[in-house]
Amino acid sequence: MKGLEARNLSVDLAGRAILQNVDLAIPEGGVTAIIGPNGCGKSTLLRTFAHILRPSAGTVLLDGLDIAQVPPRDRARRIGFLPQSPQTPEGIRVRSLVTRGRTPHQGRFGLLSRADHAAVDRAIALVGLQDLADRRVDRLSGGQRQRAWIALTLAQETSILLLDEPTTYLDPPHQVEVLKLARQLNADLGITVVMVLHDITLASLYADRVIGMKNGHPAFTTGPGEPLQADQIRNLFEMDVHVLAHPTSDRAVIVPVQ
Amino acid sequence: MTRSNMAMAGALCLLAVLAGVRLLGGDPGIDLQAILRGDDQEQAILTHFRGPRVILAMMTGAALAMAGTVSQVMLRNPLASPDIIGFTAGASAAAAAAILIFGDISAAMPGALAGGILAACLVFGLAWRDGISPLALVLVGVALNLMLITATDILLSLSPGILASEATRFLTGSFASADWRSAGLMALACLVLGGVLAGLAFAIDRLELGDDLAVTLGLAPDRIRFCATVCIALIVAVSVAVAGPIPFIAFLAGPLARLAAARPGTVLGLSAVIGAILGIGADLLATLPIAGIRLPAGVFTALIGAPAMLLLLLRLEVDRK
């Protein structure tokens, strides 16, 4: 299968089993959101897909191949990952931050080819930071900074992009902006986007497929076009909710029962 | 011309001037005309004393600077330079112990080599938690640094006067005992180990993004840090062996280079040149009698370094706000 797949995947962190015998497929294409209560293993799953964490049992398959067997450089050209709180090197400017996304394409001493420069320009333009390319990243607003980081992963030119809570610390308009960007990347460039999200409604509105994680297991997966059901959310979060119809789309809006 | 190139050109000019002054200047200076006339004595001063001393000061400075800036960047902490996280203290303590045990200053070199490597192993071993946590490494290093300094003091106070004073002199760090053997050894270490660090610098600059991102960019953070740490420990050990501990060059050069070039990362080349400037500048000050006394180079780097460290920490605080 093209895409990412977890087969009988178990992951331990500090001696504690976080994921247990997970079987899950994320086919190529589409935007997938992973939701679930704190500590359910959703970030762990994403980080294992990115090969940052090594499974204690089972495998992650990338296009049907064991990801552990894929050379690191090749893997880095296929899967991009944005951590929840990436570290900004002191004083770095947008362009040089984005350029670091070219790492798996550059030679040993980091000489940049014309293709590298072009990819960096494209990535900066995609997130709309052309006018701020020479600014210091630590002087940008939260939303701009997040776009700069996404540009880094875009400069990597991977077909799969994993985003770990990309909307955390952002105000609502910037959350929407980031999620629209994710949709746009999927629509225009065909990038497979997998993101961990906290907000159920945003997941419902912007993802084609939603995976609900609970206690280290996927509790449900919605197919493309299938709206989230109230009892799925009730079971997942053990919280009573209403599922409403979005006024202008066929997506579901989830609100807590008062 | 970019900002980094300008900074590099300026630093190289300053280095050339300082090296020239140190080589030929002073009281009495070298009489170049006498050398051209074939004056053996003037020539001997130049080739046997000043030549190796200038090379030693520059190479020690450059090597320590590279070790320092790489270690700060790869551990994402400006405090994480080898003179603060125990590598230098380990090499010094073992060198002092060797002097005291064998009663001979020549035991300092093997002592420093063994001590520097041992300290690096200790810091790494104690900070290891399924991989290297940069913060744990810095904290372990700072603690070990204090322990080693105390151990050195205890050693010195337990030893007979003459040996203790010889060890104390060694521990202030100076380029005064330079000869071609020590200068050559330091130059070799600087070029070989600095070359390896230059090969790693591209990857190390990317570790600054955090380990998660570094891994997904196709790098192996633990392996990179291991290789770099071996180089850093060896540089520190050799430098302590040939010149004693010269404090703060490793700590200062990287931040100065990043400031001058206005860019993040190791800025390895410029750091090396700035380190060489600091080394030779300190040695220049060491040859000037101040209130009638000449102080060793290590005293001057400490004099500049300690307040600079405070400034750097204060600036960090401001940046965080």
Longest dimension (CA), chain A: 59
Of B202, B215, B219, the CB nearest to A109: B202
Residue B318 has pLDDT above 60, yes or no: no
A222 or B308, which is more confident? A222
Q: Is residue B23 left, alpha or beta, with left meaning phi > 0 and alpha meaning psi from -120 to 50?
A: alpha
Inside any domain, residue A14:
yes
pLDDT mean across residues, chain B: 88
Size of interface A-B (CB pairs under 8 A): 76
Give residue-wise pLDDT tens across range B83-114: 999 999 999 999 999 988 888 878 888 999 89
B169–chain A nearest CA distance, Å: 39
Indicate the CATH number for domain B57-314: 1.10.3470.10
Q: Compare B182 and B38 and report the one with higher pLDDT.
A: B182
Q: How many structural domains is chain A composed of?
A: 1
CA B197/CA B229 separation, integer angstroms: 10
Lowest mean pLDDT among B54-68, B158-172, B203-217, B223-237: B158-172
- Give the CATH number of the domain where residue A221 resides: 3.40.50.300
User: Does residue B150 register a pLDDT over 80?
Assistant: yes
Calculate mean pLDDT across residues B165-191.
89
Which of B271, B273, B120 has the alpha carbon at shortest distance from B205?
B271
Residue A256 in contact with partner chain B when CB distance is under 8 A = no
Instruction: Report which DSSP code applies to B27.
Output: S
For residue A20, being part of any structural domain is answered with yes
Cα(B91)–Cα(B111) distance, integer angstroms: 7
- Within a domain: residue A38? yes
Q: Do A90 and B319 touch (CB under 8 A)?
A: yes
Has residue A147 been placed in a domain? no
Q: Across the interface, do A87 and B258 touch by the CB < 8 Å criterion? A: no
In this prediction, residue B47 has a pLDDT band, given cuts at 50, 70 and 90, of confident
Q: Which of B76, B209, B262 sits opposite A100 (nearest CB)?
A: B209
- Residues of chain A short of pLDDT 50, as ranges, are none
Contacts of B258 in chain A (CB under 8 A): 90-91
In angstroms, the CA B270 to CA B306 distance is 22
A53: containing domain: 3-88+159-256
For residue B321, pLDDT over 50 is answered with: no
Which pLDDT value is given to residue A178?
Answer: 92
pLDDT at B78: 85
Domain boundaries, chain B: 57-314
Any domain includes A75: yes
Q: Is residue A105 part of a domain?
A: no
Domain-located, residue A202: yes
CA A172 to centroid of chain Cα atoms: 18
Mean per-residue pLDDT, B276-280: 95
pLDDT at residue B317 in the model: 56
From A75-84, B43-52, B229-238, B253-262, the region with the lowest mean pLDDT: B43-52
Chain B contacts in chain A segment 73-102 (CB below 8 A): 73, 75-77, 79-83, 86-87, 89-93, 96, 100-101
The C-alpha atoms of residue B20 and residue B57 are separated, in whole angstroms, by: 13
Q: Classify residue A201: in a domain, yes or no.
A: yes
Q: Which amino acid is at B156?
A: L
Enter the DSSP assignment of A192: E
